[in-house]
A and B are shown apart, each in its own frame.
Chain A
């Protein structure tokens, strides 16, 4: 089990990355495209999580653990926190843009939107 877990997170991160890209390329609806972008961004969380993990360690919170117990990497978790907040804000802004696009152009299909002039 542990030998599979040594490389499985990297594989899952790559899998999610490729599926997210595939969804964006083959999307026919702007809201569907935005959600595939969310999946794409979450693949980076899995990668960061895998990099910072130490087997058998505890969380980097020493409220009840004595100092000196081996803990996982806190810097990478701080990066992931910022990443998650940025994902939410980018998704909000893109959704507002998608709504505005529909109100102006009448369609959410990326293929049709290319041919409409500004």
Chain B
């Protein structure tokens, strides 16, 4: 039972990792990497590693997408300022 779940999650992890790389737009990629982090933490949980699963959820599904989104917001603001300056 656990073996079948582990097998499925490994396949899902490989596919999710491939799709994170193949997504070009960083905004969509942040959602994809959040999902990838969730699958990874489920895999940790199934492999009897609860500490690591907690850490992965906290970092990979919360802190990392948050930092990516904030960085993208700053870049968008900088782009708007650049365009405003060029139009002046």
Do A and B come into direct contact in the complex, CB within 8 Å?
Answer: yes
Name the A residues within 8 Å of B23 (CB-CB).
32
Task: Say if the beta carbon of A5 comes within 8 Å of chain B.
Answer: yes
Name the A residues within 8 Å of B30 (CB-CB).
35
Name the A residues within 8 Å of B40 (CB-CB).
42, 45-46
Task: Say if the beta carbon of A114 comes within 8 Å of chain B.
Answer: no
The interface size of chain A toward B, counting residues with CB under 8 Å, comes to 53
B binding-site residues for A, Cβ under 8 Å: 3-4, 6-7, 10, 13-14, 17-18, 20-24, 26, 29-30, 33, 36, 40, 43-44, 47-52, 55-56, 59-60, 63-64, 67-68, 71-72, 74-75, 78-79, 82
- Contact check, A80 vs B24: say whether CB atoms are below 8 A apart: no
CB nearest neighbor in A for B3: A1
- Which applies to chain A's interface (DSSP): helix, strand, loop or mixed? helix
For the complex formed, measure the closest distance between the CB of B87 and the CB atoms of chain A, giving whole angstroms: 15
For A22, A42, A92, which residue has the most chain B Cβ atoms within 10 angstroms?
A42
A binding-site residues for B, Cβ under 8 Å: 1-2, 4-5, 8-9, 12, 15-16, 19-20, 22-23, 28-29, 31-32, 34-36, 38-39, 42-43, 45-46, 49, 52-53, 57-61, 71-72, 77, 80-81, 84-85, 87-88, 91-92, 95-96, 98-99, 102-103, 106, 108
- Which applies to chain B's interface (DSSP): helix, strand, loop or mixed? helix
For the complex formed, measure the closest distance between the CB of B33 and the CB atoms of chain A, giving whole angstroms: 5
- Cβ-neighbour of B51 out of A46, A77, A88 (below 8 A): A77
